[in-house]
Amino acid sequence: MTFWKPVAALAAAAAMSVSPAFADHHKSAKQKSDIVDTAIAAGSFNTLVVAVQAAGLEATLRSEGPFTVFAPTDDAFAKLPEGTVETLLKPENKDKLVSILTYHVIPGAVMSSDIAGKTLDVKTVEGSTASVDATDGVKIDGASVIQADIKTSNGVIHVIDAVIMP
């Protein structure tokens, strides 16, 4: 599938470009990594990391926060129609990419236990409202949280199985 060739090349380039930064941000075993370093270390968010870098959001997601990030996996990005990621990564589509990525972020650190049993609408960093249903697991705009409460130094990551759109 042609989707993976450009993404794999971009992911490899991103890995090379972030390796020195990762070394500089090396934490002792007792310190938590920030959202970006945690995503890089996990190895299943290569597309997300490349997109964050292309959108110019890396510094923000390394800042103090706190942020709650609903992080789509590489498999979630692969479910998008062929060519979508490549199109979004083009410089002329940066505003659209920023909009999509910031829709996956809410201010503050929200743990799954904070919302268990509730349905609510949350304001995203993008500015729109997303629907969260935590009555049976956790879903945001229909995407399921497949791993919750990954604590980082500047917030929390909840892994989701789909890319959500504003």
Task: State CA 85 to chain mean position distance.
Answer: 14
pLDDT, tens digit, 9 for 90 and up, residues 45-100: 999 999 999 999 999 999 999 999 999 999 999 999 999 999 999 999 999 999 99
Q: Which residues contact 16 (CB under 8 A, 6 or more apart)?
A: none
Task: Report the alpha-carbon distance of residue 122 to residue 45 in Å, rounded.
Answer: 24
Residue 24 has pLDDT above 70, yes or no: no
- Binned at pLDDT 50, 70 and 90, residue 32 comes out as confident
- Binned at pLDDT 50, 70 and 90, residue 31 comes out as low
- Taken in order 61, 7, 77, 94, the sign of the CA dihedral is positive
Partners of 92 in the beta sheet?
none
Report all structural domains of the chain as residue ranges with CATH numbers, in order of start.
Answer: 4-160 (2.30.180.10)
Q: Are the C-beta atoms of 72 and 142 separated by less than 8 Å?
A: no
| 24 vs 38 pLDDT, higher one | 38
- Which of 76, 81, 103, 104 is CA-nearest to residue 161? 76
Could you tell me the pTM of the whole model? 0.81
